[in-house]
Structure 1
Amino acid sequence: MSAANRSGADNQPGVLVTGASGFVGRYLLRRLQTEPVTVSTLQRPRHDLLQPASLTELCQGVDTVYHLAAYAHVNQAQIKTLYATNVDGTINLLSAAVAAGVRRLVYVSSILADPAFDQPRTAYGEAKQRAESLLQAAHQAGDIEVVIVRPVNVYGVGMKGNLMTLLRLLRKGVMPPLPRFTQPFSLIGVEDLCQALVLAAQCSVGDNAPIYALTDGEHYDIKSLEQAMRTALGRSQPAWATPKAVFYLGALTLEIAGRLLPINNSPGLRSYHALARNYAVDDTASQRDLGYNPRSTFYCTLPAIISAMDAGSAGADTSDTDNTQ
């Protein structure tokens, strides 16, 4: 392996993965090991999305770039860093890829890039949308092929985010029962997401860069997930639920705290709205155009997630793509 962590036979197509040390990135690397490709990864500090010169050699001999790296979990004081990494960093990688003659860039965006699923609007969602627009322009200009995927919340062994926080609080027995929210929302398993990413590197494209929302095809509601978690953990099901007004007040308090204090990824009103509104995502186009066939559900994966927690092997997540909503 070189300093770029390149592995595989020299006569195989070159593939570059950014964000390879993150939750999704680690799974994608394992998936690519089963493919006839030579894989390289962005290795910090030698390679940095904010240092264009460091990306030039990295893109040489690469056919496909999977761009997962992103800055997601921030507080108000870190918004400039978020835009720099997610927008400027993507521009720098795009420029290096075009200069090296890379055939295709698969951009792992987020469902939050769509304003309909990011209310109130967040800096993260807006930055992802800006990056998408820049990539679409490069595709339309014929500089490089681009496919954009927008996964919803990602689950799997090693996940972080709101679902894992809820699971850990329930496991400790300190989580009061959630309000009776029954609005549907979508999720996706990490292995299904990786399946879709590999297919996105191979699909046909037209004049415009396609954008594919990705889910596991199921609709969930948070109350059902909470009940499933309690059952899987061997906890009893409370006969009562926290009133929605009380839950809203708590979310409002956290919103204010997140704006005043340096709290990373602080929950707040957006978390409340995500539970109280319909956030079901239609991924018909991705299944039709990519031949994507999701095979997992959160309920089927939950025992493995809990088993990994019990074994202390859930794994650390570094910033690669949004898996919190």
Structure 2
Amino acid sequence: MKVGVLGFNGFMGKNLCQHLKSTFEVVEVSLRDTDWETQLQQCDVYINLVGKAHDHKGVATELDYYYANSDLPKRVFEVFLKSEAKLYIHVSSLAAQQELKSDRALLEDDPCQPVTTYGKSKRDFEEWILKKTPLTDKKVIVLRPPMVHGPGDKGNLGVLYKLISKGIPYPLNAFKNERSFLSIDNFCYFVKKIIDNQGKLISGIYNVSDDEPVSTTKIINIIKNEASKKVINVSLPKFFVKAIAKIGDVLPIPLNSVRLEKMTSNLLVSNQKIKTALEIEKLPLSAEEGLRKTIRSFIDKKI
């Protein structure tokens, strides 16, 4: 079976291709190639990881996000519809549904409330593809992961690791929260299970996450343990931190109200729908095991 992977050169793509190559013939497809449509035509399964998430330089426009997260995937899906392939896996994001907080585990049919241009552009494609899906006998699976982490990750977990590993105290210990994450190992496991058992799934959206949520305090303790660092957690008064965040709403300082909400609120996801469909009792790694593996990779690479 040939599996075409778009977005193969990113963090998730590199890990997924390595995982799938032990079982399938993986075709790494770049949309920059003039013959990308021809490359995809020979594939039995399409996996789309193409998208824009982070704008570290602060120069991306709204059009940039919609082009990468909606317009390009639409072109890929149209090619899929004309092909002989029967399975299309599109990796969306939890941000298409909720970006800030949820005190209970989100289900796939809960209301969508994206806030950022990133989340809105991801939701735009979801709405489009869901309208197209009933018109085809092909299988279309849309995955919504929360933050994915693992070796090679350059996201917020790495930033937190750098902070703690340098002995800088975490200043928001007064805020108690839990969030759902997804280790790259569990993500790859989900994708392979979908390919192997595509007949058990109906087309639609599926949340994917680790089985257990993790508190920020727990993550910090894992970092300190793995990095052998004795760092004091600082509990600044909540009113003081919120006041600083309000200042950040109007002045260019690292903390603002939206960032504070993301760092300190609950954001929980239920993965029960896909686990039930694929008859999964337990994922390969617990949330804590996955986090420890990621932190050890940071230590090994001395990021």
Alignment TM-score > 0.5, same fold = yes
Counterpart of 2:32, as a letter, is P
How far off its partner does 1:174 sit?
2.9
Counterpart of 1:104, as a letter, is L
How far off its partner does 1:131 sit?
0.9
Matched, 1:162 2:156: yes
Q: Partners of 1:22 and 1:79 in 2: how far apart?
A: 21
Q: Find the residue that maps to 1:309 and give its secondary structure.
A: helix
Counterpart mapping for 1:306-317 below 5 A: 306-312=295-301
Q: Find the residue that maps to 1:96 and give its secondary structure.
A: helix
> What's 1:63 paired with?
44
Q: Which moved more, 1:62-71 or 1:112-121?
A: 112-121
How far off its partner does 1:313 sit?
6.8
Q: Partners of 1:239 and 1:56 in 2: how far apart?
A: 52
Q: 2:268 aligns with which of 267, 270, 280?
A: 280
Q: Find the residue that maps to 1:204 and give its secondary structure.
A: helix
What is the aligned-residue RMSD (CA, Å)?
Answer: 2.6
Provide, for residues 142-163 of structure 1, a one-character-per-residue CA deviation record: whole Å limited to 9, x for no partner: 1632011111111222212111
> What's 1:79 paired with?
62
| Contact 2:30 2:36 (C-alpha < 8 Å) held by counterparts | no
| Contact 1:105 1:147 (C-alpha < 8 Å) held by counterparts | yes
Matched, 1:41 2:24: no
> What's 2:199 paired with?
204
Q: Partners of 1:235 and 1:81 in 2: how far apart?
A: 40
Matched, 1:111 2:111: no
Matched, 1:90 2:73: yes
Q: Rate the CA distance shift 1:267–1:239 in 2: closer, same or farther, 3 A.
A: closer
> What's 2:176 paired with?
182
Q: Report the identity percentage.
A: 21
Matched, 1:152 2:136: no
> What's 1:290 paired with?
278
Q: Partners of 2:79 and 2:114 in 1: how far apart?
A: 34
Provide, for residues 182-230 of structure 1, a one-character-per-residue CA deviation record: whole Å limited to 9, x for no partner: 2221111101111111222333367x63211111111211122123322
Q: TM-score, normalised by structure 2?
A: 0.84
Q: Partners of 2:294 and 2:248 in 1: how far apart?
A: 27
| Contact 1:179 1:244 (C-alpha < 8 Å) held by counterparts | no
| Contact 1:83 1:127 (C-alpha < 8 Å) held by counterparts | yes
Counterpart of 1:21, as a letter, is N
Q: Rate the CA distance shift 1:298–1:284 in 2: closer, same or farther, 3 A.
A: closer
Q: 2:232 aligns with which of 232, 238, 260?
A: 238
Q: Partners of 1:16 and 1:39 in 2: how far apart?
A: 6
Q: Which moved more, 1:241-250 or 1:128-137?
A: 241-250
How far off its partner does 1:307 sit?
3.6
Counterpart mapping for 1:223-234 below 5 A: 223-234=217-228
Structure 1: 5+ residue stretches without partners: 1-12, 48-53, 315-325
Provide, for residues 155-181 of structure 1, a one-character-per-residue CA deviation record: whole Å limited to 9, x for no partner: 222212111101111111234432322
Q: Partners of 1:236 and 1:103 in 2: how far apart?
A: 53
| Contact 2:200 2:277 (C-alpha < 8 Å) held by counterparts | no
Q: Partners of 2:177 and 2:289 in 1: how far apart?
A: 21
> What's 2:109 paired with?
none
Q: Rate the CA distance shift 1:120–1:204 in 2: closer, same or farther, 3 A.
A: closer
Q: Partners of 1:270 and 1:105 in 2: how far apart?
A: 34
Provide, for residues 24-75 of structure 1, a one-character-per-residue CA deviation record: whole Å limited to 9, x for no partner: 111111111121x32111236325xxxxxx4321221211111111111134
How far off its partner does 1:19 sit?
1.1
How far off its partner does 1:309 sit?
2.8
How many pairs were matched up? 288
| Contact 2:213 2:287 (C-alpha < 8 Å) held by counterparts | no
How far off its partner does 1:288 sit?
0.8
Counterpart of 1:17, as a letter, is V
Of the two structures, which has the highest relative contact order with CA contacts closer than 8 Å and spacing of 6 or more?
1
> What's 2:2 paired with?
14
Provide, for residues 52-111 of structure 1, a one-character-per-residue CA deviation record: whole Å limited to 9, x for no partner: xx4321221211111111111134742211101111001110111112232111011111
| Contact 2:185 2:290 (C-alpha < 8 Å) held by counterparts | no
Higher strand share: 2
Counterpart of 1:87, as a letter, is S
Matched, 1:247 2:241: yes
Structure 2: 5+ residue stretches without partners: 102-112
